[in-house]
Amino acid sequence: MSDKNRCVVTGLGLICALGDNVEECWENAVNGISGIRDVTVINTDGCYAKKGAVNDTPDGDLSEENYDRSSLLCIKAAGEALKDAKISPESESGIGVIIGNCVGGAASIDSYYRAVKERGEENVSKEEILKMPASAIANNVSVHYGLKGVTANIVNACAAGTISLSYACDLIRSGEAEVFLAGGSDAFTSLAFAGFHALHALDERPCSPFNRSSGITLGEGAGMLVIESYEHAVQRGARIYCEILGSGVSSDAHHITAPRPDGQGQMSAIRRAVADSGLKPQDIDYINAHGTGTAKNDEAEFLSLHTLFDCSDKLSVSSTKSMTGHCLGAAGSIEAVFTVKALENGIIPPTAGYTVEEKAALEEKAGKIDFVPNESRRKELSYAMSNSFAFGGNNASIIFSREHREIPARESDSPVYITGLGIVSSAADGSDSVKASLTAEDYKTHDIKMAFYRKLDRFSQLQLVSGVRALADAGFKADETNENDIGIIIGTSDGPMTEIVNFQKNVIDHGTNGGSAFSFPNTVYNAAGGYFSIFAGIKGYNVTVANGAQSGLQSVCYAHSVIRSKEESVMVAAGTDENTDVTEYLYGRYGVRTADLPYSEGKGFVLGEGSVSVVLESEEYANKHNSPKYAQIVSWGMAHSPKEYSDQRVDGDTLKKAIGDACKRAGLFLEQISFISGFGCGIKEIDQGELEVYRELFGVNKPLLSVKAATGDARAASASMALAQAAKVLHGDGDIVGKWYQITENGARESEAAEGEYALAVSCGAGGSCSAVIIKRV
Amino acid sequence: MSEKEIAEKIKAMLVENLRIPEDALENDSELFGDDIGLDSIDSIEIIAGIDALFGVQMTGVAKEHFQSINTLTAYVREHMEG
C-alpha cells in the first residue's frame, strides 16, 4: 500500500497547570508533580470542594486579542506546535484547524451577564456576545496565524480533544489538506465547577484516579498537535515524532452523564481503534487512560481494561489527570501530547497521589496491568493509546506508533444515499422571531415518554424529534444486529446556549454552590446527540460540530466521510439550533434580529429555529432494508477563510472553492448543476456576496431555492434544511418548503419552481467556513 | 405555612426546576416510579430546591420521604423551624 494513508505528528504545543510549554509540563509530569491547588480564579464560597488545576498566565499574556480564554489558551499552544514543527504559516497557509472543546465561551458568558447585572447593559459592549459560542474557537486560531485550511470545533465534551485528532487524520487521508493543527482547549470556568459541584462529582482532595476515586479535579489548558501526511512531512524534511495509526469512536446509548457500568461502549471504541490500526490488544504497550477519578468512570474503565488487556503481559496504564486535573475538551489532546512524549522518550508519566497503603491496595487489584503509581516508568514503547470518555456517552480512543506500520485499507467508493428526512421547523410569519412547534403529540407519535423528554432542553428536544422522524422515514430501527453500524453527526451554530446562559445566571445570582444538577448535563453541546443516541439505541460514531450556521451542511460532509471510510454504514447528519428568549435577546442585542427576508437587501434576518436530520446510507445497507432513496450524495467541498467572527461578509473565493471542490470530486461541469439551494438570510452583505459568486460561476437565470424565505434563519438547521428540500425536489415531492428565485444581473427575483438531475446545497457561516454538497436524482 | 401552601410551593419547584408538565403532576403522583420517572440527578435538585424554599436539609434522608409531593410536604412540615 502507498504512503497515502500515513498521518504523522510533527509538532507539539501544551499549556496547562503543569506549565506554559511542552518541556515544562512534561518534566513536571514525569516527576509526578501535580498542578492541583486551591482555586482562586472563581469564587468557591460555600462549596464543599475548592481544588482545581489552573494555569496562572493572564489572558493578555497568552495572546493580544479580545477572545474568550479558551481561544487564547489554544492560540498559545498552537503557536508552540507550529514552531516545534518548524512550519511557517506564511508559506503554509493551507493548514486546517480542528479544535476539541467542551464549555465554549462559558467564562465570557459568565462575565457578560455579571457585567450587565452590575453595570447595566448600556455599559457592556455587544461585541462580548461573539465570545460566547464554541463555534468561534478554531477560526480564532486561524485568524491569529492566517491559516486557510478547513476548520471545525468538535464539541463532544470530554472526548472532544481525542475526536479532533481523529477527524484531522480522516481529512488528511481523504486529501482535504496536507497539514492540520488539531487539539483541544478549555478554560477554567464557574460553569464547569458549579456543574460538577452540583452533581457532587468534585473531589475535596486532589483527584486520585484508580485509587480513592472520590471525584474529579477540574483543570484547564490546551494541547495542540501538528498532524500531517507522511509524504508532506518527508518532503519538507520535518522531524517526525510518531504516526497516528487509527482511532475509534462509539456511543454508550446508556445515560447522559454516567458511563455504562459494564464498559461495553468504552470497549467498543478501544476495539475499533485497535482494529483500525491493524493491531491486537496485546500489541499496546501504554494507555493514557481517561482516569477521571470518579467512582463510576474508574470502575467502568478498570473493567474495560481488564476485559480487553488481561491477555497482555506488558501493559502500563496511567492517568495524567492526577496532575493536570480534568481539562474537559482539552483533556484528550493534552493526554495525546503526553502519550507522544512517552513514545519519544520511552518514559511513562505516573498516576500521582498514592500513599504507601493505597499503593499496596492497588497492587492487590491491578492484576497484570501496571498502573505506574507515583513514579514514572522507563520502558521501550512501540504502540501507545489514549482514551477519552465523555458526557453523553461518547467514547474515543486513538493509537500512536513510534514506527511505521501498514494499516488496513479503509476507503470505499460505494454510493451513499439520502434515505430519510426528519424536519422540525419554524415558519416565517412576518415577525422578527419565529419558533417551531413541538407538542406532547409529537412525542407520543414516536413513543417518547414524558419522563425522558422533560429532562431535555430545547436544543436537545428539537434534535430528538427530528432524529427519530428521520429514522422512521428511512424505515430504520436500531437493534442488536445494527446498533454499531449507525452513527450521528450534529452541526450547530449556538448549541444549548439557553441552558448555558440560564445555568450561568443562576450561578451569578446564587453563587458557585447554586448550580443546577438538573440542567448542567444539558449545557454540553453534545448532550443532544447523547439523548438521541440513548433514545434510538445508536451505538456507533457520535460527534457534534460547532462551526457557525454552515455546520448543518458540514455535518453532512463529515457523515459522508464516515461512511466512505467504512467506519459506519448508516449516519444521521443533522443541523440544529434553538430560538428562545435567550437567543432572541442575544441576536436582538447584536442588532441582526429584524423581519428581513432573504434577497430583500435588509439589515438582519428573521430568527428561526429547528432541527433537520438526514439519514445517509451506503448502497448495500439501503438495499438491505429497502429504504426509499431521495437522492444520492455525489460529493462535497469544504473551505475556510480566516476572518473575524464579527465579519458577516461572504468571502467569494472561499465559497467558490467549496463549490469548485465539490464539482471536481463529482467530475461535474458547473452547467450540469440544475439548481442551487442557498443560504441568503436577509442581511444585504451576505446575500449579495452569495449571489455574486453564483453569477460568476453559473451566469444569470440559474434557479435558486431559499428555505430561509419560508422558515426564517434557523442557522445550522437551515443549512441541513437546504439539502433536505433539494433532495425532495429531486425526488419529485410536492410539498417543498422554500421559495424559488432566479439569479438576475443585480439580485434575485422570485420565479417558478425548478427540477433537474443535480442539485447543489450551499452554506457559509460566521467564522468564515463554507460547505457545499452535490446530490443527484436517483 | 399551611400544608397546602407547602405542597403548592413544592409542586411549582418541581414544575420549574425539573420541567415536569404541571398537568401530569398530582400530589400523590409517584415521583420516582413509572408516573414521573425521576432519577438520582433529580433528587439532588429536589434537595437543593427544598433547602432554598424552606431551609430544610434532606441530604441523606430516607427514600420514602421522596415518594411524592405529599411525603415531601409531610417531611418539610415536620422539620421546618418556626
Residues A355 and A442 occupy one common structural domain:
no
Average pLDDT, chain A: 96
Asked whether residue A521 is domain-assigned, the answer is no
Quick check: helix, strand or coil at residue A773?
strand
Is A296 part of the contact surface with chain B (CB cutoff 8 Å)? no
pLDDT digits (tens, 9 = 90+) for A248-285: 999 999 999 999 999 999 999 999 999 999 999 999 99
Q: Has A290 been annotated as catalytic?
A: yes
pLDDT band at A93 (very low <50, low <70, confident <90, very high): confident
Nearest to B41 by CA among A496, A84, A199: A199
| Domain, as residue range, for A156 | 7-401
Please judge whether B48 and A517 are an interchain contact, meaning their C-beta atoms are less than 8 angstroms apart: yes
Q: Has A560 been annotated as catalytic?
A: no
Which residue is closest to B52 within chain A, CA to CA?
A514
> Structural domain tally of chain A?
2
Cell reading at A134 = 464554541
pLDDT digits (tens, 9 = 90+) for A136-165: 999 999 999 999 999 999 999 999 999 999
Residues A372 and A449 occupy one common structural domain:
no
| Angle at A740 (CA atoms; ends A738, A743), nearest 5 degrees | 135
Asked whether residue A425 is domain-assigned, the answer is yes
pLDDT at A1: 47
Asked whether residue A642 is domain-assigned, the answer is yes
Choose one of A368, A401, A434: the last residue of a domain. A401
DSSP one-letter code for A350: P
Nearest by CB to B37, which of A449, A517, A518? A449
The maximal CA–CA distance of chain B, rounded, in angstroms, is 36
- How far apart are alpha carbons A468 and A457 in whole angstroms? 17
Residues A740 and A667 occupy one common structural domain:
yes
Show Cβ contacts of residue B8 under 8 Å, excluding neighbours closer than 6 positions: none
Residues A62 and A142 occupy one common structural domain:
yes
DSSP one-letter code for A371: -
pLDDT digits (tens, 9 = 90+) for A679-719: 999 999 999 999 999 999 999 999 999 999 999 999 999 99
- How far apart are alpha carbons A297 and A179 in whole angstroms? 34
Please judge whether A517 and B45 are an interchain contact, meaning their C-beta atoms are less than 8 angstroms apart: yes
Q: Are A161 and A326 in contact (CB under 8 A)?
A: no
Report which residue type is found at A88.
S
Report which residue type is found at A606.
V
Please judge whether B21 and A449 are an interchain contact, meaning their C-beta atoms are less than 8 angstroms apart: no
- How far apart are alpha carbons A590 and A646 in whole angstroms? 10
Please judge whether B44 and A440 are an interchain contact, meaning their C-beta atoms are less than 8 angstroms apart: no
- How far apart are alpha carbons A567 and A166 in whole angstroms? 12
Nearest by CB to A451, which of B37, B41, B45? B37
CATH number reported for the structural domain that contains residue B55 in this entry: 1.10.1200.10
pLDDT digits (tens, 9 = 90+) for A187-205: 999 999 999 999 999 999 9
Residues A387 and A425 occupy one common structural domain:
no
pLDDT at A2: 61
Contacts of A46 in chain B (CB under 8 A): none
Rounded to the nearest 10 degrees, how much is the dihedral formed by the CA atoms of A617, A620, A622, A625? -140
- How far apart are alpha carbons A277 and A681 in whole angstroms? 44
Quick check: helix, strand or coil at residue A317?
strand
Residues A366 and A426 occupy one common structural domain:
no
Quick check: helix, strand or coil at residue A19?
strand
Report which residue type is found at A154.
I
Which residue is closest to A458 within chain B, CA to CA?
B19
Q: Which of A7, A47, A102, A158 is catalytic?
A: A158
Question: What is the full DSSP assignment across A175-225?
Answer: TS-SEEEEEEEE---HHHHHHHHHTT-B-SSSP-TTTT---B-BB-EEEEE
Asked whether residue A364 is domain-assigned, the answer is yes
In sequence order, the β-bridge partners of residue A225 are A12, A182
- How far apart are alpha carbons A171 and B31 in whole angstroms? 48
The complex's ipTM works out to 0.87
Cell reading at A528 = 443532544
Residues A31 and A135 occupy one common structural domain:
yes
Q: Are A697 and A721 in contact (CB under 8 A)?
A: no
Which residue is closest to B51 within chain A, CA to CA?
A514
Is A512 part of the contact surface with chain B (CB cutoff 8 Å)? no
- How far apart are alpha carbons A426 and A436 in whole angstroms? 4
Asked whether residue A557 is domain-assigned, the answer is yes
Distance from CA of A521 to the nearest CA of B (A): 10
DSSP-derived pairing of the beta strands A377-378 and A486-492:
unpaired
- How far apart are alpha carbons A457 and A438 in whole angstroms? 12
Contacts of A518 in chain B (CB under 8 A): 17-19, 41-42, 44-45
Query: Is A58 exposed, middle or buried, given 0-12, 13-18 or 19+ CB atoms closer than 10 A?
Result: exposed
Between A and B, how many residue pairs show a Cβ–Cβ distance under 8 A?
39
Show Cβ contacts of residue A473 under 8 Å, excluding neighbours closer than 6 positions: A420, A421, A422, A615, A628
Residues A333 and A454 occupy one common structural domain:
no
Show Cβ contacts of residue A144 under 8 Å, excluding neighbours closer than 6 positions: A63, A65, A75, A78
Contacts of A455 in chain B (CB under 8 A): 19
Contacts of A257 in chain B (CB under 8 A): 41
Report which residue type is found at A592.
V
Show Cβ contacts of residue A143 under 8 Å, excluding neighbours closer than 6 positions: A642, A643, A644
- How far apart are alpha carbons A550 and A744 in whole angstroms? 25
Please judge whether A198 and B42 are an interchain contact, meaning their C-beta atoms are less than 8 angstroms apart: no
Cell reading at A417 = 444515499
Residues A454 and A326 occupy one common structural domain:
no
User: pTM of the entire structure?
Assistant: 0.97
pLDDT > 90 fraction of chain A, expressed in percent and rounded? 95
Choose one of A352, A370, A401: the last residue of a domain. A401
pLDDT at A536: 98
pLDDT digits (tens, 9 = 90+) for A655-670: 999 999 999 999 999 9
Is A257 part of the contact surface with chain B (CB cutoff 8 Å)? yes
- How far apart are alpha carbons A718 and A679 in whole angstroms? 8
Asked whether residue A127 is domain-assigned, the answer is yes
- How far apart are alpha carbons B40 and A200 in whole angstroms? 11
Choose one of A375, A401, A427: the last residue of a domain. A401
Q: How far lies A575's CA from each of A555, A609, A660, in Å?
A: 7, 10, 23
Please judge whether A518 and B17 are an interchain contact, meaning their C-beta atoms are less than 8 angstroms apart: yes
> Structural domain tally of chain B?
1
- How far apart are alpha carbons A103 and A524 in whole angstroms? 6
| Domain, as residue range, for B65 | 3-79
Cell reading at A423 = 424536519
Asked whether residue A410 is domain-assigned, the answer is no
Nearest to A505 by CA among A218, A256, A194, A48: A194
pLDDT digits (tens, 9 = 90+) for A545-596: 999 999 999 999 999 999 999 899 999 999 999 999 999 999 999 999 999 9
Q: Are B45 and B52 in contact (CB under 8 A)?
A: no
Distance from CA of B17 to the nearest CA of A (A): 7
Q: Are A546 and A135 in contact (CB under 8 A)?
A: yes
Quick check: helix, strand or coil at residue A547?
coil
Which residue is closest to A516 within chain B, CA to CA?
B45
pLDDT band at A627 (very low <50, low <70, confident <90, very high): confident
Residue A47 has pLDDT above 60, yes or no: yes
Question: What is the full DSSP assignment across A649-716?
Answer: S--HHHHHHHHHHHHHHHT--GGG--EEE----SBHHHHHHHHHHHHHHH-TT-EEEESHHHH-B-TH
pLDDT digits (tens, 9 = 90+) for B1-14: 899 999 999 999 99
CATH number reported for the structural domain that contains residue A639 in this entry: 3.40.47.10
Please judge whether A517 and B20 are an interchain contact, meaning their C-beta atoms are less than 8 angstroms apart: no
Average pLDDT, chain B: 92
Is A517 part of the contact surface with chain B (CB cutoff 8 Å)? yes
In sequence order, the β-bridge partners of residue A725 are none
Residues A325 and A474 occupy one common structural domain:
no
Is A444 part of the contact surface with chain B (CB cutoff 8 Å)? no
Report which residue type is found at A56.
D
Cell numbers 438521541: residue: A532
Is A329 part of the contact surface with chain B (CB cutoff 8 Å)? no
pLDDT digits (tens, 9 = 90+) for A731-764: 999 999 999 999 999 999 999 999 999 999 999 9
Cell reading at A159 = 472526548
Q: Which of A144, A197, A254, A326 is catalytic?
A: A326
Query: Is A537 exposed, middle or buried, given 0-12, 13-18 or 19+ CB atoms closer than 10 A?
Result: middle
Asked whether residue A445 is domain-assigned, the answer is yes
Q: How many CA atoms lie within 13 A of A564 on its CB side?
A: 18
Please judge whether B17 and A517 are an interchain contact, meaning their C-beta atoms are less than 8 angstroms apart: no
pLDDT band at B37 (very low <50, low <70, confident <90, very high): confident
